[in-house]
A and B are shown apart, each in its own frame.
Chain A
């Protein structure tokens, strides 16, 4: 006789029942949980449950040197780590009044935009997989790998580069690197047509994604929605343009928007953003060889570097939305306080809870993925 390994669940004597999405579920992005109460097929209540990825980053950063924290910050958003590094560096540079050399700024932009394309390729693969379509995921992740190869060549790391330091970047672009970036971009540009045919204009996908998880403009503003999710509601806001950092004002790029605010619109905005990112990188490739100069403003002995007392709030546009770092220094060797504002904290908790209610069981996973939330940003 086998032990009964399972105790039957006593469902409440109503037609309502409860279902857990996560923390380990293909319908949820990463280690994150959504508990829903269903009435038939309709969600009547939804609660998120985070903290599975909590590491106490903000506490850890208070215990480490300014320069050591560079190794910590990219871990906060795994699919798109570069904006985290850049944002932290920007905040520290602002505190310490360091001017970043122009060449380093251009290289940072190059890296940021490559990271954005990589994150979007990863994103729509996941979104496709929630609708049961695995081919775009297989293609997208494999194409993203080509970009990771570029990162590896530039920085030495596939995902976490630890490349942006306060004051500049660690090393120069290798010889012939820009040509390889250009080739890879040509390839990805060509592949976008395949993705269009396979996924973005796929009739069944369009039918399923249209009208799912709609946010209107007022709600988007009220809920602090940022990034592509905000632009999918028709609001044209981008930190790169409206609160500019690095050399973005010198670059020519559009901010794609969609009007509908549903899952389809959010996906399409990201699709269009990839084109814009490719455009930006092409400009960087063209301009970078002519920009000479140092790569780093030297900082004093990094192991005993005291950053002047003060506070700084730096913002960067990542592929998920507005990333912000609030860094407080009391003039010590370590940050006094670092507060990280991940865009997903809004999207994955408040927005998701509101969008899930009233949606169908079949659409929950799509809602989650189309918001492109990144759970470690919530948990930190």
Chain B
């Protein structure tokens, strides 16, 4: 009984923690962009202000029921995913779900978004979402191979045991030092899954006017902003759990999470975006090759 209560508390707490950390990740992204662009950048609570303001809109322009449900799916997918990602002190339902369930859940938001945007019937949105799904297809192939390789290496699909196995011997037993090729491929997949430049094909303001977001206003856009902070959190925590030994305590855990994101963010503001076919070609070539090579090393 007590254990059930604890699990429920954790399941409620984990998305809240994730959201707060995610907000700071968004802040870090915008600050980093500002620094690269030689300006000051937003204030500390800017991501929060944006979201509160968007939910505080007094007229909400909906395009129908599916539009609402799509956004709920997009946010809900990530909320469910973060309960499967163990953080220091809280495992949530990570040991019950495992890495395969997580992989499924991480695809739900894109599909939810596709549903919601489809209802808008704006051609820009439709093109955007088809590009988003294409890019998901592109980065999911290396991502699945990486997940497969890691699971093989640790002979487990439970993130809890994967983290425990990495924390045995310090840095030497981390995924990144045991499977560097897979870690590199994973970094590619992580960057692409965040949808930042040069992989930002589906927002593309100059081409399709921010694609999926074009008809989103008020709480719908607010939902997407919430989704973004969850997305950053989920991607970085997953990478930390797979390759950087998870979190021993909150300090090292947060340090790792933010450090992982610095790499894609620093690259993102220095490059233009790829064309769609270039992105697919790139993602199916180098990361897949690295990941397969990594698997070969893991398997022997």
Contacts and interface: CB of A to CB of B under 8 A. Distances in A.
Direct contact of A and B (CB under 8 A): yes
Q: Is the interface of A mostly helix, strand, loop or mixed?
A: mixed
Interface in B38-66: 38-39, 60-64
A27 B61 contact: no
A126 to B, nearest CB: 9
Main secondary structure, interface of B, reads: loop
A129 interface: yes
A130 B272 CA distance: 9
Interface string A203-227: 0110110000000000000000000
Contacts of A133: 197, 269-273
B207 to A, nearest CB: 6
Given A6-B63, A133-B197, A365 B271 contact: no
A362 B276 contact: yes
B274 A361 contact: no
A15 interface: no
A303 interface: no
A361 B207 contact: yes
A138 interface: yes
Given A19-B124, A132-B272, A208-B272, A6 B61 contact: yes
Contacts of A291: none
A25 interface: yes
A142 B38 contact: yes
A128 B215 CA distance: 25
A25 B64 contact: no
B121 interface: yes
A8 B273 CA distance: 31
Contact of B273 (A2, A132, A135, A360): A132
Contacts of B270: 133, 135, 198, 202
Given A135-B37, A207-B278, A17 B206 contact: no
B275 interface: yes
A364 B127 CA distance: 15
A135 B63 contact: no
A26 B123 contact: no
B62 A204 contact: no
B209 A132 contact: no
Contacts of B120: 6
Q: Sort chain A's interface into a size bin.
A: 35 or more
B17 interface: no
Contacts of A204: 198, 271-274
Contact of B206 (A4, A138, A202, A365): A365
Contacts of B124: 19
A31 interface: no
Contact of B37 (A11, A134, A205): A134
B205 interface: yes
A301 interface: no
Contacts of B33: 134
Given A6-B61, A9-B121, A17-B123, A132 B206 contact: yes
Contact of A202 (B121, B122, B200, B271): B271
Contact of A2 (B62, B197, B200): B62
Given A27-B206, A135-B270, A364-B207, A8 B198 contact: no
Interface string B252-290: 000000000000000001111111101000000000000
A131 interface: yes
Nearest to A364: B207
B36 interface: yes
Nearest to B208: A361
Contacts of A25: 209
Nearest to B203: A132
B28 interface: no
Contact of A138 (B37, B60, B276): B37
A5 interface: yes
Interface string A309-321: 0000000000000
A138 B272 contact: no
A158 to B, nearest CB: 20
A129 B207 contact: no
A57 interface: no
Contacts of A360: 275
B99 to A, nearest CB: 32
B127 A361 contact: yes
A79 to B, nearest CB: 18
Given A202-B272, A204-B198, 13 more contacts: A2-B61, A5-B61, A6-B215, A9-B122, A25-B209, A27-B205, A130-B207, A138-B39, A139-B37, A208-B272, A361-B207, A364-B207, A365-B207
**Closest CB pairs A-B (n = 9):** A131-B272, A132-B273, A138-B37, A27-B206, A133-B272, A130-B206, A365-B206, A26-B205, A8-B121
Interface of B: 33, 36-39, 60-64, 120-124, 127, 197-198, 200, 204-209, 215, 269-276, 278
29 contacts: A2-B60, A2-B62, A5-B63, A6-B61, A6-B215, A19-B124, A26-B205, A27-B206, A27-B207, A27-B209, A129-B206, A131-B273, A132-B205, A133-B269, A134-B269, A135-B37, A135-B270, A139-B37, A139-B38, A202-B270, A202-B272, A204-B273, A204-B274, A205-B272, A208-B272, A208-B275, A362-B207, A362-B275, A365-B206
